[in-house]
Chain A
């Protein structure tokens, strides 16, 4: 038996506020192995990854023993930890945008992996690694700033930085949550090719199945089941594992109802160009789209393909550089003018749902205030008292499956999945004809994502048209009436 690279022994973690995030976790990871930890959001997966690198918040109580190679991490000095981080253990974080300093260009950021250890960065090696992960023309493009890169591209840059010193182990916390399926595959393949031992945190079971040697299922801060990948998939022992496996969407599981006939949204020749004359970026090129009431249209594409921009154009949040958007056959925006032509667009006709539900809700508001906000709109003649508003909020919460949630709770006390339901509830209060959803499930784990998609399906069944943008083609195909592809700004069937 080869030497273990990572070893957790009786590890328990209690946060400063008294929340016990992880209890009695034991596992070992041997050289060259890939262990995936799967589980719902809030189950303690990320905490485990952070504990292994000693990057938990201050005042977190850690008991037990965590060893990387021969080095004990629990209670180690900052100096010891610095020798481990980057050289022995690389880290790939969940949110690529927050992992980058917006003031430094991407190359600077990657070369920091060398500079922190007082080494000279090897530019050619950086470019080669970036190109290997599918970033073309790396020498030129890596001199651009993080905000000029897409989330998926940034995540690849993070992987290059974290594997810079051929570390013995790479700890990757949801490395592919911002990427489309093809890219996610390519990245995990690249990660495995580094020959490093891999600790992979993910909520995407399908992805894990293809790449991990072993799977550990994390539930309520405990590892309830650990074993070979094939064995877990064929013979799950724990109730929770069984639930998790049954939530994997199967294509065409749901009968697509026939879409109704009224045209809600029509876009023709829509295009959007960013930048100046010298440096033009065509985010969207001549896109045509018709959406009828009750229809769910999915738009699938790689990160940076322009799908979010297209959605913003359709929702009239941005004005196109060319082309026209009609809402119920009434001209809303066109390329010649920054003006909004139809008042409908600002009367709750289109309502958006965003990727990050927490940031789309006002953190300081009680949820009933958020949900009933559209009732305060200028065009509404009817005014409601506080009691009436609370009743309406209660009814809508029932509709979105949050019967037990207290009306006076604030969003920070709810899970991400519950917050997403609340933003859907708010959209419903406006009584929209069209809902545009930008990656509504990418921050959610699979079982919660499923239930949110089912909720959207129920809403569509009542006649609301829905346009969903996602990089997860699998999920879109299971829930949408039709799925369109977006590649480099071009929308196609």
Chain B
């Protein structure tokens, strides 16, 4: 599968884009002479120049440094949301699928109810209950994605239960814990990893979108969506403030989608 991935041209572009973005957000804060939150009112709303490559914002903060620092927060958060969702859904999904019976019925109906509400609206509602803040936003997103993921894992687990290799292991006397650990979970993980990678782009957008609305990262913290939110008031006088975070979001999503597609193709070709 690894070889297939590297042979795939779009995947290579995706990996290169992702690597570039990662290097950018990791290295810039180290080498930049500017503090991300240091305000210099005398240098506000400057267009890109030799001292500030991406210009400065309404408080005179360096946009380049803030994009990099915001990137750590945006991408890191998307990664945390997806991994947490993945881990929790694999645990719950396999448990529900294999226990079956009344447990399955109850949890499946609960999932149906959660799936009936669009995930963005559900996240908004949860943030409303928990209160505004970046951590709460992440919790809200995990909960809103969890229903869909758990449903998928449950279905994989149900079909795994009828698989010849699992039946053979059961008849041979292998315990359920071992069967789950060696047969079912690795297989489910491989399938779900692709779904998760494809969803990474969507998660980045959700986080940026909710932060844009002011429900996520709070000032003065840098975050791509929050930066866009602040920049929209200056789009006639300083349009470069909108361009930089938009380009960063675009690059991150294209990279995540290219890698996700390639992973799926590699899995299909097996």
**A363 x B173 contact (CB < 8 A):** no
**A315 x B171 contact (CB < 8 A):** yes
Q: How far is the CB of A431 from chain B (nearest CB, A)?
A: 10
Given A346-B173, A348-B171, A377-B172, CB of A412 within 8 Å of CB of B164: no
Given A374-B174, A378-B174, A380-B173, CB of A359 within 8 Å of CB of B163: yes
**B171 x A350 contact (CB < 8 A):** yes
**B172 x A351 contact (CB < 8 A):** yes
**A412 x B270 contact (CB < 8 A):** yes
Give the residues in chain A near B173, CB-CB below 8 Å.
Answer: 346-348, 374, 377-380, 430
Q: How far is the CB of B47 from chain A (nearest CB, A)?
A: 49
Q: How far is the CB of B154 from chain A (nearest CB, A)?
A: 19
**B43 contacts partner chain A, Cβ-Cβ < 8 Å:** no
Q: How far is the CA of A458 from the CA of B167 in the complex (A)?
A: 25
**A426 x B171 contact (CB < 8 A):** no
- In B168-187, the 8 Å CB interface with A consists of 168-175, 178, 182-183, 186-187
Task: Point out the residue from A352, A359, A379, A412 that lies within 8 Å of B171, measured CB to CB.
Answer: A352
- In A424-450, the 8 Å CB interface with B consists of 426-427, 429-430
**B135 contacts partner chain A, Cβ-Cβ < 8 Å:** no
Q: Tally chain A residues at the interface, Cβ within 8 Å.
A: 31
B139-173: CB near A (< 8 Å → 1, else 0) gives 00000000000000000000000011101111111
Q: How far is the CA of A380 from the CA of B174 in the complex (A)?
A: 10
Looking across the interface, which residue of chain B has its beta carbon closest to that of A347?
Answer: B173
Q: How far is the CB of A77 from chain B (nearest CB, A)?
A: 25
Looking across the interface, which residue of chain B has its beta carbon closest to that of A427?
Answer: B168
Given A354-B164, A363-B270, CB of A374 within 8 Å of CB of B183: no
A319-351: CB near B (< 8 Å → 1, else 0) gives 000000000000000000000000001111011
Give the one of B163, B165, B167 with max A CB within 10 A.
B165
Looking across the interface, which residue of chain B has its beta carbon closest to that of A359?
Answer: B164
Given A362-B183, A363-B270, A412-B270, CB of A345 within 8 Å of CB of B171: yes
A349-376: CB near B (< 8 Å → 1, else 0) gives 0111010100111111000000001101
Looking across the interface, which residue of chain A has its beta carbon closest to that of B173?
Answer: A377
Give the residues in chain B near A356, CB-CB below 8 Å.
Answer: 164
Q: How far is the CA of A251 from the CA of B190 in the complex (A)?
A: 48
Give the residues in chain B near A190, CB-CB below 8 Å.
Answer: none
Q: How far is the CB of A320 from chain B (nearest CB, A)?
A: 17
**A430 x B183 contact (CB < 8 A):** no
Give the residues in chain B near A354, CB-CB below 8 Å.
Answer: 164, 168
Q: How far is the CA of A345 from the CA of B170 in the complex (A)?
A: 9
- In A247-266, the 8 Å CB interface with B consists of none
Q: How far is the CA of A432 from the CA of B211 in the complex (A)?
A: 61
A406-438: CB near B (< 8 Å → 1, else 0) gives 000000100000000001001101100000000
**A376 x B178 contact (CB < 8 A):** yes
Q: How far is the CB of A319 from chain B (nearest CB, A)?
A: 14
Q: How far is the CA of A13 from the CA of B10 in the complex (A)?
A: 27
**A360 x B164 contact (CB < 8 A):** yes
Q: How far is the CB of B191 from chain A (nearest CB, A)?
A: 12
Looking across the interface, which residue of chain A has its beta carbon closest to that of B167?
Answer: A317
- In A270-320, the 8 Å CB interface with B consists of 315-317
Task: Point out the residue from B163, B171, B174 that lies within 8 Å of A351, measured CB to CB.
Answer: B171
Given A352-B164, A352-B167, A363-B270, CB of A373 within 8 Å of CB of B186: no
User: Taking beta carbons and an 8 Å cutoff, which residues of B are in contact with A?
Assistant: 163-165, 167-175, 178, 182-183, 186-187, 190, 270
23 pairs of residues in contact across A and B, judged by CB atoms under 8 Å:
A346-B173, A347-B173, A350-B171, A351-B168, A352-B167, A352-B168, A356-B164, A359-B163, A359-B165, A361-B165, A362-B165, A362-B183, A364-B186, A364-B190, A374-B172, A374-B173, A374-B174, A377-B172, A377-B173, A377-B174, A378-B178, A430-B171, A430-B173
- 8 A-B pairs with least C-beta separation: A377-B173, A360-B164, A374-B172, A354-B164, A378-B175, A430-B172, A347-B173, A348-B172
